[in-house]
């Protein structure tokens, strides 16, 4: 069993290996298998990658996420512009059936909804939208419905 210092170090290393992350910008503490992430990043994608890196470290029992997203001097933070960027990102991903996904934006909170036939399509939509700068919170309410076979 890892002690708190070992767990903290492993999480810091995991975060440091993510290409979009500056490990120095994210604070990590560990106590009894509970890892807390703090700090500020400039995109939702970076926040998501830090969370993903931490929760995949063996020994992490629970993750407390307190990372803030600060967009700095982004020129256009309007919800309308954000919605356009998210829609474009969805359309550019071959694995996302963009015509089946609806995007709602309110105060930087983006919610994806709709129905897809496969889990990987839902995940691809989340990842595509998550890479758009300016998103404060991203919620994926896309539902996976099994495709009906063409034969009976």
Is residue 150 assigned to a domain? no
Asked if 25 and 41 count as a contact pair (C-beta separation under 8 A), the reply is: yes
Run means of pLDDT, 10 residues per run, the chain, 152 residues: 89 77 79 92 80 90 88 69 94 94 92 94 92 86 80 60
CATH code (residue 16): 3.30.1340.30
Is residue 42 assigned to a domain? yes
Residues 57 and 22 in one domain: yes
Q: List, as one string, the DSSP characters of 33-89.
A: TEEEEEEEESSHHHHHHHHHHHHTSTT--EEEEEEEE--TT-S---HHHHHHHHHHH
Is residue 38 assigned to a domain? yes
pLDDT at residue number 151: 65
Residues 12 and 37 in one domain: yes
pLDDT at residue number 125: 95
Asked if 92 and 109 count as a contact pair (C-beta separation under 8 A), the reply is: no
Is residue 74 assigned to a domain? no
pLDDT at residue number 26: 87
| Number of domains, the chain | 2
pLDDT at residue number 76: 56
pLDDT at residue number 44: 75
pLDDT at residue number 152: 56
pLDDT at residue number 96: 94
The whole-angstrom separation of Cα 46 and Cα 88 is: 20
Residues 90 and 65 in one domain: no
Structure-block tokens of residue 109: 């909170």
Q: Residue 13 has what DSSP assignment?
A: H
The whole-angstrom separation of Cα 114 and Cα 117 is: 11
Is residue 152 assigned to a domain? no
Is residue 138 assigned to a domain? yes
Residues 25 and 55 in one domain: yes
Which residue range is the domain that position 133 belongs to? 79-144
pLDDT at residue number 28: 92
């Amino acid at each position: 069993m890892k002690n708190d210092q070992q767990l903290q170090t492993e999480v810091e290393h995991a975060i440091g290996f993510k290409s979009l992350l500056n490990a120095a910008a994210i604070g990590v503490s560990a106590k009894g298998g509970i890892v807390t992430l703090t700090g500020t990043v400039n995109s939702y994608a970076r926040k998501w990658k830090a969370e993903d890196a931490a929760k995949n470290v063996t020994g992490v029992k629970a993750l407390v996420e307190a990372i803030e997203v600060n967009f700095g001097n982004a020129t256009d933070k309007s919800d309308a512009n954000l919605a356009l960027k998210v829609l474009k990102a969805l359309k550019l991903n071959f694995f996302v059936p963009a015509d089946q996904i609806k995007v709602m934006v309110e105060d930087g909170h983006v919610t994806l909804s709709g129905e897809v036939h496969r889990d990987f399509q839902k995940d691809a939509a989340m990842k595509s939208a998550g890479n758009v700068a300016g998103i404060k919170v991203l919620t994926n309410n896309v539902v996976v419905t099994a495709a009906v076979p063409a034969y009976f």
